[in-house]
Amino acid sequence: MAVLPVNQPHFIRSNQKDEYYLGSLRSCASDVFQIFAGARRWLEWRKEVELLVELAYFSLTTFAGFQTLGEEYVNIVQVDSSGRRVPSRGRRAALIVLHTCVPYLLDRGLVRLELHLQTASEGFRPQDTRWLPARSRFSQRLQSAVSRLSDQQRKALLQAIYLLRQVVSFLHRLHLGIFYLNGSYYHIAKRFTSISYKFLAGSPSPQLPLYTVFGRTTALDSDALRPPLLLGVHHGMVQHKSRMSSLPGDVPAPTTNLLATLRLG
């Protein structure tokens, strides 16, 4: 079976398909959790429930050595830096941790630190703010450390948190722009683990020059038109043209020509 390089359309369609199924799994898990624990508990543990869903999905697919549903949809497989071998189990585990756990821990840690700083700056005691998360010894130690800071130090930390969020957002846009320029890694976690893809069946779609424009605008302009949004409009055009109904969140077939459809519109 021929092994060929994968270009941007296949990466995007694969990711869209995975996000569609992950969204369905998150919705089902949330419904089940609310039935047994209630809506209030769900609001408190919503991020953790979504994390467990993602871990279960990628553990049963990527870690077990199988394709995800998105990868299977476009017939691509993961390969290591050599481009000839399937990534080792350790590398696949590192990919899952970087892709799911690290963003969760970073977001959760910043949110918790920010809440403690704002609460201390406003002069409220933590026991008077029940929305403030304090479920662990780490949170209690963090709360104690924040209480010993001066107002000036708290304001400086709040500014640092804001700056860190902006830097992370910029790096994400920059990485996405690099992807649309050379089409190597769609996710930052795959770049760190050097996991790429190979196409196993047929011939990949020709490289579209429009993605070069996307790469430049995405990396430099935060308000630029995002490719997923354009693909969503393109999907609607294809549905109208074929006069066929499809499931919400479905993605166009790999043979669809994006530029030709846009010209027709």
Residue 9: the pLDDT is 84
By the 8 A CB rule, do 265 and 237 touch? yes
Cα 77 from Cα 71, distance rounded (Å) = 7
Residue 141: the pLDDT is 78
Residue 211: the pLDDT is 53
Residue 120: the pLDDT is 74
Strands across the sheet containing 196-199: 4-5, 196-199, 76-79
Span 181-234, pLDDT tens digits: 877 888 999 999 999 998 875 545 444 444 555 555 554 554 443 444 334 433
Residue 137: the pLDDT is 67
Residue 131: the pLDDT is 43
User: For 4, phi and psi rounded to 5 degrees?
Assistant: -125, 155
Compute CA distances 123 → 1, 126, 163, 175, 246, whole Å. 67, 9, 24, 40, 54
Residue 249: the pLDDT is 46
User: For 199, phi and psi rounded to 5 degrees?
Assistant: -95, 130
Cα 207 from Cα 15, distance rounded (Å) = 18
Residue 25: the pLDDT is 96
Residue 240: the pLDDT is 42
Residue 30: the pLDDT is 95
Residue 243: the pLDDT is 43
By the 8 A CB rule, do 16 and 229 touch? no
Q: Pick out the chain residues at pLDDT < 50.
A: 1, 125-134, 203, 205-210, 219, 222-265
- Residues forming a β-bridge with 117: none
H-run or E-run covering 145: helix 137-147
Residue 235: the pLDDT is 41
